[in-house]
Amino acid sequence: EEQLVESGGGLVQPGGSLRLSCAASGFTFSSYEMNWVRQAPGKGLEWLSDIRSSGSATFYADSVRGRFTISRDNAENSLSLQMNSLTAEDTAIYYCARARIEVLGTGAFDVWGQGTKVTVSS
């Protein structure tokens, strides 16, 4: 079964840092682009970041560029999101998601983790 499992969420103070992880199984992780998406309480989905299958390129939403860093370890089948300078507006459920392999561009997100909750509060 193709599966993604996030971890690392929790309560952090404003200005603090947190590192999220996403463990992949059941598919060839190194073949897929991977993404992070978040959902603030009661709100819609917000794409945050993408990383190419080899890790050669990364993309970020303006809201997190310069504060968040996406990375991957294909040998360990894992994806990470380092989050710095956190504010209350970063409070959300964070999902990792696999992008379909497409000839053109980044594919739709066909496998999602269950999410990990991040709360930024003093």
Partner 1 sequence: EIVLTQSPATLSLSPGEGATLSCRASQSIRSFLAWYQQKPGRAPKLLIYDASNRATGIPARFSGSGSGTDFTLTISSLEPEDFAVYYCQQRSQWPITFGQGTRLEIK
Residue 35 vs 80, nearer CB to partner 1: 35
Footprint of partner 1 on this chain (CB under 8 A)? 35, 37, 44-47, 50, 59-62, 95, 100, 104-110, 112-115
Shortest Å, Cβ 122 to partner 1: 27
Residue 18 vs 37, nearer CB to partner 1: 37
Q: What is the largest CA-CA distance in the chain?
A: 46
Give the closest residue to 110 by CA, choosing from 32, 8, 6, 25. Answer: 32
Token pair 């603090």 is at which residue?
16
Query: The tokens of 104 are what?
Result: 């053109």
- Chain centroid offset of residue 59 CA: 11
Shortest Å, Cβ 30 to partner 1: 21
Shortest Å, Cβ 75 to partner 1: 26
